[in-house]
Amino acid sequence: MAVRAVRGAVQLERDEAGHMDEQVGALLTAVLERNGLTTDDLISIWFTATPDLHSDFPAAAARKLGIVDVPLICAQELDIEGAMPRVVRILAHIESDRPRADISHVYLGAAAALRKDIAQ
């Protein structure tokens, strides 16, 4: 079994904890489903949030999904002028037999514009 990394992002419509839980939960669910993963395949997840998000930790959404024994960490994204606002990004380290080229990176909604080359 190889260690792989999968990326993803979602843009929130507003900075509210419930909305963040919903959108980050949808992102994590899509990453798991599109890559045929279970929580046992997760090694760790890094979350970043743009500086305009203050309502909650994105990792809290993972805990609410039942991802409770996987190391999670949150950090603030760089504050770059003109960058897309209200974005949560993930970098998940996983165990998978899939070749690197077959890993599905997930960019939901408007966040698809961040990586047009790999967004699903």
Per the annotation, where are the binding residues for prephenate?
7, 89, 107
Q: Do the Cβ atoms of 74 and 101 come closer than 8 Å? A: no
According to DSSP, the residues that pair with 96 across neighbouring strands are: 2
Q: Which residues are annotated as a binding site?
A: 7, 89, 107
Residues 80-84: contacts with CB under 8 Å, at least 24 apart: 83/50, 84/11, 84/50, 84/110, 84/111, 84/113, 84/114
